[in-house]
Amino acid sequence: MKHSVCPIVISAPVGLLPFTAIEVASLGYQVLWKGESSLGIKAGWGDVLRLNLWLRTAHHVFFQLDDFLCRDLDELYKRVATMPWESVIAPDGYLSVTATVDQPGIRDHRIVNVKCKDAIVDRISRVKGRRPDSGAQRDGTVIAVFWKKHRCSISIDTSGEPLTRRGYRTIPLNAPMQETLAAGVVMASRFSKGENFINPMCGSGTIAIEAALIASGKAPGLTRENFGFMHTLLYGKTEWDTLVADARMKCSAVQGTIIATDNDPAAIDATRRNAAAAGVERYLSLAAGEFDATELPAGTGAVVINPEYGIRLGEERLLVDSYRSIGKFLKQKCAGYRGYVFTGNARLAGNVGLKSGKKIKFLNGTIPCRLYEYELFPGHGK
């Protein structure tokens, strides 16, 4: 099983899959199919280690073990119990089961979790004489069940916890943006190595940090210590250590300037500490102050602003002037750059007062958002 080529399913949040597909292709894999929030490739076990290490916008990497017709829970149990789990999970290990179910007659996916878990531990107990512990925590081996109509697949969730949990965000502050979404926003800004990246209203710094990771070529998985694949019997530490060492060799100095500012000194302190945890503190220029006082260096690049939406953090009517000021700042101080405003409030976005060439759809938690792009030509602010 370890060296066989198997279907691999990579999931991503709504809006991020196009960027995940670009990442997967850049790593040399052929995308065989794409859905709304997942895509499929075929590769070997060693590839899931590489994908978990390098993917910036994906949430989970699933290594499929079986796919079969299944009409009811009894059939599920019987099929799962025939699989050689003793070669995947240690008898003194720990596992959890997650299920995505769209099957007539099953209203609660938790019964599927239990039935699948029972089949796995019963099989290992029968073969090894001991059974692993199980529970809801995803910090051990994670088995994923996808059951739609009469088709069921069983996979190892090789990520375990979602890949957005990089491990560097020690101080999230209020309403933080997930790391995967921040990476997608940076990619959508067409930011490239050698350009400048300006992030006023930086909050806890997630967008600026993801920009620094991209600019330095640092793999996002380098800041994380635990993955689901590490808790399987298929895991080879030497193989992982080689991939990590190779990834560290690919890191390089940032050529452009990355600036993050916020009017809250606590936010700047959080950004500094989070950036240090991510290993990119030296690449960020931080300053406390109003966003429109941010000084842009000569050259080109992206200015990305993520203001309050008037939904969770503030009242909409109180933010109108703030959005108008953002428009003035982009027009008067950011000529020659590409300007972006990421917001979940279309009405407030209208107060920016600039024509948006693109409106890229994302989802921030449960809030539909858009990244508004503004081309700020030289001389625009005069």
**Relative orientation angle of helices 206-216 and 179-188, to the nearest 10 degrees:** 60
The residues near 151 (Cβ < 8 Å, ≥ 6 apart) are 67, 68, 69, 70
Return the pLDDT at 313: 54
Stretches in the chain below the pLDDT threshold 70: 1-3, 312-314, 379-382
H runs (alpha helix) in the chain: 17-26, 45-54, 73-81, 109-128, 179-188, 206-216, 237-249, 265-278, 320-333, 346-349
Return the pLDDT at 379: 61
CATH 3.10.580.10 fits 6-157, yes or no: no
Residue 347's alpha-carbon distances to 135, 252, 320, in angstroms, are: 45, 41, 9
Read off the pTM.
0.94
Rounded distance between C-alpha atoms, residue 95 and residue 135, angstroms: 7
Rounded distance between C-alpha atoms, residue 271 and residue 102, angstroms: 41
pLDDT in tens, 113-149: 999 999 999 999 999 999 999 999 999 999 999 999 9
DSSP symbol at 202: -
Rounded distance between C-alpha atoms, residue 43 and residue 35, angstroms: 19
The dihedrals phi and psi of 214, each to the nearest 5 degrees, come to: -65, -45
- First vs last Cα of the chain: how many Å apart? 64
By C-alpha distance, which of 165, 198, 164 is closest to 181? 164
Contact 175, 7 (CB under 8 A): no
Half-sphere exposure of 221 (CA within 13 A, CB side): 29
Q: Kindly list the domain boundaries of the chain, sorted by start residue.
A: 6-157, 179-219+252-375
CATH T-level fold of 179-219+252-375? Rossmann fold (3.40.50)
H runs (alpha helix) in 82-195: 109-128, 179-188
**Relative orientation angle of helices 265-278 and 206-216, to the nearest 10 degrees:** 30
What three-state secondary structure class fits 1? Answer: coil
Return the pLDDT at 382: 46
